[in-house]
Structure 1
Amino acid sequence: MNHLDEIVRRLDALEAVESIKKLKARYFRFVDEKKHDELAALFTPDAHLVTDGITWKSPQEFAYTIRDLTGAAPSVHHGHMPEIEITGPDTASGIWAMEDLLTFPVGPNAPEGHNGYGQYRETYKKVDGEWLIDSVLLTRFRMDPLENWAPDA
């Protein structure tokens, strides 16, 4: 490989990493902005999603469960310190530290709100020139309880 080819390879890798960072930023933003269809579209159609030990059948099931569970309740999701590795021309993997603050609408069967800390381990695939999330494994290391959200409070 000549010097110019090496520069092009490195530039392509940097652009891929930046595209994946933007992809994950949209993931967090769409969850918090309640844009569930847009959230589902960030994944490959056959993405493998596991969060806190729950395996989801599809990106749509994952996104719509979030919609149905949280409704209009506020949430805050952050991803930190990405470690992204380009594994092939159209594949990559990443590890993200995460923190989320989640409160659910007050109700008799409402899950307890939490401030969670953990880690995403993901793979990505470039499809038709666009990076998408191909797999997610979310593990929370700690969850501190938070009071749930009451719209009229």
Structure 2
Amino acid sequence: MDDIEAIKQLKARYCRLLDTKDWSGMRHVFADDVVIDATGSGGSRITGGDTFIDYLSTQLADYLTVHHCHTPEITLDAATTATGIWAMEDRVRFADGRELTGFGHYHETYEKADGTWRIKSSALTRLRMDITEPTAGPQH
């Protein structure tokens, strides 16, 4: 498999493992010293793979999520480093019934170690976030 295809599959695993809440599998998607920056979408900046997985598993415990990433722009910078931009759409159903539909981009760097690509950094930027309130049930 070529490197660009391997990075595409890495990002596909990211989406699947995130939405299925497979935190142990998700940990292998990231470099140990990964930097996650969601400040461009109202979130936090977190450093370290274990720290980020601890944050995600707590933050998303009661949420249903669906993430789609598409139209990748991947550049191989060297034999073991790459950059990428992915268009994204996510849907989140919060515990109180509110729902978020978001659109934006992931701006990422990747590193290859021991033959495996991992996310080295990821910055999420948002173009739009639509939030809907829960619909009321039937009235009696």
TM-score, with length taken from structure 1:
0.79
CA distance in 2, matches of 1:46, 1:57: 6
Residue of structure 2 aligned with 1:22, choices 9, 19, 22: 9
In the alignment, does 2:115 pair up with 1:129?
yes
Describe the shift of the 1:62–1:147 C-alpha distance in structure 2 as closer, same or farther (beyond 3 A).
Answer: farther
Which residue identity lines up with residue 80 of structure 2 in the other structure?
D
Paired residues for 1:90-109 under 5 Å: 90-106=80-96
Aligned residue type for 2:88: M
Q: CA deviation at 1:123?
A: 0.5
| Range with bigger deviation, 61-70 or 21-30 | 61-70
User: Which of the two has greater helix per residue?
Assistant: 1
CA RMSD of aligned residues (A): 1.8
State the percentage of identical aligned residues: 40
For 1:48, the aligned partner's letter is: V
CA distance change for structure 1 residues 104 and 60 in 2, over 3 Å: closer, same or farther? farther
Which of structures 1 and 2 has the bigger CA Rg?
1
Moved over 3 A (4+): none
Higher strand share: 2
Structure 1 gaps of 5+ residues are 1-13, 149-153
Q: Secondary structure at the match of 1:45?
A: strand
Partners of 2:69 and 2:102 in 1: how far apart?
12
Unaligned runs of 5+ residues in structure 2 are 135-140
